[in-house]
Structure 1
């Protein structure tokens, strides 16, 4: 068992044990938002499917309207109308115009458009106050060409991508099946919200915070409740969990006699590493139990969340073959001091803002790993290498908290 390893070493080891999933399912477009696309999609259609108008106006021949001016308008006979969905069926001749609306195909015989603002209608005739042009014509396939790939496997289906899939002609899309992630709290002191809190007890915040982080990363959280400080109880709870792509435990990974997760894994599993040179979350453990990857997170709520963000989120991204980075970073100017840890890489909670053309970051205050509200008040983690502090005015690297 490897102990006290660095952050990069720990992440590398984790990702080596994350095997990308292959299972797909078809979901209708209303259910596709936020899912990960499971296959490349090529367009079934051209869009537009013919040359069309990008505005309301009059379609005509450029040669007929070339001399039009405010003081010398050109008069054309209006021979029809072409709204979107009901295109003009005839062929436009010399001296003629068709009233056209945004999205309607350009009539046969026409090659230019005059904006309605530059015209004056008079019965069956229209006066053009400006020359006609073709810059407002959207050509066939300008947006999409049939047979060309526009969406690719591993992309998260944002609102724009779902809309694009619809425009390409897909009523449903193939997506990666969400990895099932078990979440188990440990400890006799842990009590479910809503129950009477006994002396020395603490409400189970970890399970629900982690469930939100798992869902945000593309996984399906499976809440397994909590187990008391009993190895037999822990084992039984895990056996009842069913097939999981990852198991998260909160608590029970430190050095005490009640740290049952570590004890059970030492006897029955394979611990790949235990303890990482990181603050918060140093007791972090990664193992395999019955072939299942298991991340033993510390029990302090901030530690559990930070460790999942830095390690669990990239793990799920790899399972889903996501093409976007799991975390985003920025360079910022520290507006308050941030204290170093002498031997560990520290992640301090901060409030990131944009001021005077630069990102600035200030501390959320108390950096204890038990101050959960700092994960609400803050929106970033300030990264400090071991032994390196930051004074006000220093440039620092920050990791953005998702959402």
Structure 2
């Protein structure tokens, strides 16, 4: 029988990612495929933007000094010399004249400002200007957005759709990104059956396999190896495949104390166990090991702690392997609406949600999977607290 030789502090689980380094392998993806991928290198602009002075408003390009002194009662009269359309080569402007422009138009040669359309009135071949402007007012100057060599995306940044816009505006068709780590996912237990099988009183459907696969697909390439019964030889065969073909192993069930829980023994035969057992509820039997730079996580069998530790340990590990520089779980502070009773000496993790900017705990039986569907966050109760009162500030972890 396996026993927990030493229960580790909860913080050790959060810091498990420190044992590993990113996998320095990249692939090149099209600009339309970059969202939520991690940049493999610094990407710098190859030119300044805009390439030349552009109008920031609809109006008339002018010599700004020729508008000085204009007002509602004493407008300045300028001759209309033409219209600068967006995308056309720049026209030129002469003293005493103006050129009509649209937002984004190249600024006509020699002009140094744009009077907004609403501050003007056309009168035949002339334009009356009712408001003075300063030099380069309403103008986006060359290189004002960013200059050549400006770092658009840093190495290790998870690219979002806003980054895609600036990369596209800079003329990039493809970008190098970290390849997603391949994750072997194994569900274990004699009582676990596939959804294809008929449910009986002594069996339960595998919830953890689909949970993990769907939970990590943004950060990794999940490879579900199926359900393994409590048989060491079968589990070893799955491990052999995973060690050869994957970058990480996630296994659910088999990490508790029991005669038929072989996970720790199998991990030791392929690598090392770093932690087994934590001063935390739920998730006391969480098992963390490795084979070199390959993390191996043994989740408890119940889906609720799997959800919690996938979010707090599993996904951060995948972010780290995948080059993401911001890999720790997202956290925040909040004010508790209802009191929470705890047990000193361990960390309690409780699902909850926010209502009117207050943190509300979901205090239900730990076996209720349904409570997770209402959860927006995870409340952390420190190990030195027996009760946390309403109105107190608590640390919360946010779901990915």
**TM-score band (shorter)?**
over 0.9
Q: Does 1:6 align with 2:9?
A: yes
Q: Is the 8 A contact 1:45 1:169 kept in 2?
A: no
- Map 1:363-382 onto structure 2 (within 5 A): 363-368=361-366, 370-382=367-379
- Map 1:148-227 onto structure 2 (within 5 A): 148-216=150-218, 218-227=219-228
User: How far 1:266 moved relative to its partner?
Assistant: 4.6
User: How far 1:192 moved relative to its partner?
Assistant: 2.3
User: How far 1:161 moved relative to its partner?
Assistant: 0.9
TM-score by length of 1: 0.92
3-state DSSP of counterpart to 2:245: coil
User: How far 1:108 moved relative to its partner?
Assistant: 1.1
Further displaced range: 126-135 or 160-169: 126-135
Q: Which residue of 1 aligns with 2:389?
A: 391
- Map 1:47-58 onto structure 2 (within 5 A): 47-58=49-60
Q: 1: distance between equivalents of 2:263 and 2:64?
A: 79
Q: Does 1:110 align with 2:111?
A: yes
Q: 2: distance between equivalents of 1:152 and 1:268?
A: 36
Match for residue 313 of structure 1 among 315, 338, 342: 315
User: How far 1:365 moved relative to its partner?
Assistant: 2.7
Q: Is the 8 A contact 2:20 2:293 kept in 1?
A: no
1:68 and 1:292, CA in 2 relative to 1: closer, same or farther beyond 3 A?
Answer: closer
Q: Is the 8 A contact 2:24 2:323 kept in 1?
A: no
Q: 2: distance between equivalents of 1:336 and 1:126?
A: 67
Q: Is the 8 A contact 1:43 1:146 kept in 2?
A: yes
Further displaced range: 156-165 or 79-88: 79-88
Q: Is the 8 A contact 2:41 2:176 kept in 1?
A: yes
Q: 1: distance between equivalents of 2:215 and 2:160?
A: 18
3-state DSSP of counterpart to 2:304: helix
User: How far 1:342 moved relative to its partner?
Assistant: 3.3
Q: Is the 8 A contact 1:56 1:115 kept in 2?
A: yes
3-state DSSP of counterpart to 1:3: coil
Further displaced range: 330-339 or 299-308: 330-339
TM-score by length of 2: 0.93
Q: 1: distance between equivalents of 2:305 and 2:169?
A: 44
3-state DSSP of counterpart to 1:276: coil
Q: Does 1:360 align with 2:393?
A: no
Query: What residue ranges of structure 1 are gaps of 5+ in the alignment?
Result: none
RMSD value over aligned CA atoms? 1.9
Q: 2: distance between equivalents of 1:65 and 1:111?
A: 11
3-state DSSP of counterpart to 1:199: coil
Q: 2: distance between equivalents of 1:325 and 1:17?
A: 13
Q: Does 1:147 align with 2:149?
A: yes
Q: 1: distance between equivalents of 2:82 and 2:5?
A: 80
**Aligned residue pair count:** 394
Query: What residue ranges of structure 2 are gaps of 5+ in the alignment?
Result: none
Q: Which residue of 1 aligns with 2:341?
A: 339
User: How far 1:251 moved relative to its partner?
Assistant: 0.1
